[in-house]
Structure formats: C-alpha cells, structure tokens
Amino acid sequence: MSRPLQGRTAVVTGAGRLGGLGAAIARRLAADGAAVVISDLGRPVDAATPGAMIGASDEMEAVAEAIRADGGSVSTCVCDVRSWDDVSALADHAVSTHGSLDIWVNNAGIGYIMNPLLDVSPDDWQAVIGVNLTGSFYGIKAAAQKMIEAGRGGRIINIASQAAKSGFPFAQAYCSSKHGLVGLVRSAAIELGKHGITVNNVCPNHVTTGLGAWQNSYFAEKSGLSVEDYLAQMAARIPMGRPGLPEDTANAVAFLASDQAHYITAESLNVSGGEEPH
C-alpha cells in the first residue's frame, strides 16, 4: 500500500472525538504513513466547552488506540487552542515524541454556539472567535516556527467551512471566524512560501458528525421542519445529492499534505459536492 507521508509527523487539533472530523483526518494521515498527534481539550474548562462537544481524555485515547490497532504511530496531547502556551507545547510534543513536525491541521472549532444576532452575547462571540480564528493563528505560528527551524518545509491546513464563503443565519461568529481564515491563509502563505511551507484551507459543506447531528436538529427546529425534511432539502440543493462525509474532508487534507500539492498554497478548497461554487 502506498504510504506517501511515511517519515512525517502530523498534528491534528480537535481530533479527540470518535466519529468526528478530526479523528477521520488523523486516521487518513496515519494510513498514509504519518505519525499522528491526536490533540483535544481533554475536559470541559468553561461554559463554552461542554463535555458533549469536546474530546475528553479517554475518548482521545480511544481514537489513538484505533489508529494503533491499524499499525499507526500515534500519541495524544491535551491542548486548549485558545492558549498560546498550550499550542506551543503541542508543537514541542510533536517534535520531542516523534522527531519532527511536518503537517499541522487546525481542526478544532466551535460550531455549536449559535443564536439570532440580537441574542449573541459578548462571551459567545469571543468563545467562537477564540477557538476558530485565534486558535488557528496560534497553530500556524507554532507550526511555522518548528518547520522553519527544521528547514524541510511543511504543510499547514485549516479546516474552514462552507461558512468561509457564504453567510448563514444564527451563525454570525462562526461565519466571521471562518471567513477570517481565508485572509489568514492568504497572508501566511505569502510569508511562509520562501520556507517551503504551504498554508491552505479545506472548506467542507455540512458533515453529519456528532456536532453535525446537533446542527441538524438546531437548524431544523429554526426552519420549522423535521430533521428528516431538513436533511432532504439539504441533499436536494447539493449537485452530488448528499451532504459531506468525514472521509471527503480527510481525503482533501491528505492531498494537501502530500508532495503532489507542493505548489498549492493560499487556497480555500471547497469540498461540498458542488454546493459551494466559489
């Protein structure tokens, strides 16, 4: 089996939930030969990080164990991406444990704090921006530092969203944070290109993970529809006839992490079955 990422180390933030997008990305990178660091919050730390929406330490270990069972090299590291010290320590962990840091995937995100505009609190706004945008900036900075020191280039990939291209009701902070990632990668790619580091976004449409199931229920209720009818309407507007799967996003990440994508940078790649055309 081809293992195009053999000898490289990848960090995936927000990867500690079984069935989650980050876990799917980590599995795919490990299958391609990368040593993988599974990172997540480990435990709830405040009102913005409820237990049902974060990867607890035992679930992080379960994700890692599944990768080990398939023969992959993997470790876990608790990290709150809102903390520069935590993110810097995560980068240190990758190098000290696996010998290098070659791929960094900013997947951690809050997609479950949504309200009508007039009901959005300052704390809610700061929580979403803090994880989705500031956390990604910290990840880019920490990864770039290690990659520049090593002198071998690298790949930095943000999991943005269709919401990086289009607006959605009840998701002002979320859409703002994801739109911000477009500007962030364009700027970072200019500075880091001379070091052989590419910086890109992957922009999936809706993916029904655990978080996605919550979103289905939330938006169905707001639309006055059953979840089944809401999903049927969603599928009908997607040219490929279905919402995304975790593997669709994982495949795109694996491509951007590979040598085949060495000349692709500053891009925001749609993985939406044709739903998002720009």
Which residues are catalytically annotated? 174, 178
- CA–CA separation, 81 and 209 (whole Å): 21
Q: CB neighbours of 108 closer than 8 A, spacing ≥ 6?
A: 13, 14, 22, 39, 40, 41, 81, 131, 135
- CA–CA separation, 47 and 105 (whole Å): 25
Give the strand order in the sheet containing 9-12: 74-78, 35-40, 9-12, 103-106, 154-159, 197-204, 268-271
- CA–CA separation, 80 and 216 (whole Å): 26
Q: How far apart are the first and last CA of the chain?
A: 35
